Amino acid sequence: MGHTGMLRMTTGIGAIVSVVVLLALSAAPALAASGESGGGVTVIPDWTVTIQIANFLFLLFALNIILFRPIRKILKERRDKFKAMESAIEGAANGAREKENAVAQAIREARAKGLKEKEALVQQAEEEERRLVEAINAKAQAELEQMRLKIAREAEQAGRSLQAQVDVFAKEITQKILGRAV
């Protein structure tokens, strides 16, 4: 038991002893006076009051050793145990809070990294799409130019073959219009 506990106990015992002695001393004249009036029981303090006070103090001391100290010790142990549990709970709560913050930070970092990767993939896809569109346009332009050249050649051939037959067609048309051979 600490210094303050002992001080508290001796102060409490001293106060109780003082109260008992004062009550005994103040009751003695009053009890003696009541005997002179002719009625009632007269109690004169004698050596038994001292024995009763000693008995009371002995019981107070014995109960303090047998009952009060063990109970106070158990209460102190319980209080210490609760304090230890509270500190363990606080530590666990702080640890959980730190882990939660770490997980939240990791999630934020993963999201940021994922967004960067997504943007990079989108940019790559757009560049690939642009290259494919340019390649398809170039191929389409080349095919269109080939078709134009082919059509121009075929038109020229058709024009030459028709030019060679113009005289024959002109004679036939003339014969049909005039109705006779020219």
Q: What is the pLDDT of residues 100-135, one digit of tens each?
A: 999 999 999 999 999 999 999 999 999 999 999 999
- Is it the case that residue 91 has pLDDT exceeding 50? yes
Q: What's residue 67's pLDDT?
A: 92
6-12, Cβ contacts within 8 angstroms, sequence gap of 24 or more = 9/64
Spatial contact of 40 and 48, defined as CB atoms under 8 Å apart: no
Q: CA-CA distance, 10 to 8, in Å (whole number)?
A: 6
Residues with Cβ within 8 Å of 43's Cβ and at least 6 positions away in sequence, in order, are 31
> Is 68 or 6 the better-scoring residue by pLDDT?
68
* pLDDT confidence tier of residue 9, bands split at 50, 70 and 90: low
pLDDT tier at 93, thresholds 50, 70, 90: very high
Give the N- to C-terminal CA distance of the chain in Å, as an integer: 152
Amino acid at 113: K
In terms of pTM, does the model score above 0.95?
no
Which residue type occupies 87?
S
Helix (H, G, I), strand (E, B) or coil at 80: helix
Q: What is the pLDDT of residue 79?
A: 96
pLDDT of residue 35: 47
**147: helix, coil or strand?**
helix
Query: Do the beta carbons of residue 18 and residue 62 sit within 8 Å?
Result: no
Contact by Cβ (8 Å): 44, 31:
yes
CB neighbours (10 Å) of residue 9? 15
CA distances (Å), origin 93, targets 38, 79, 83, 84, 104: 78, 21, 15, 14, 16
Reported as a pLDDT band with limits 50, 70 and 90, residue 148 is very high
Cα separation, 8 vs 157, in Å, equals 131
Cα 63 to chain center, whole Å? 52
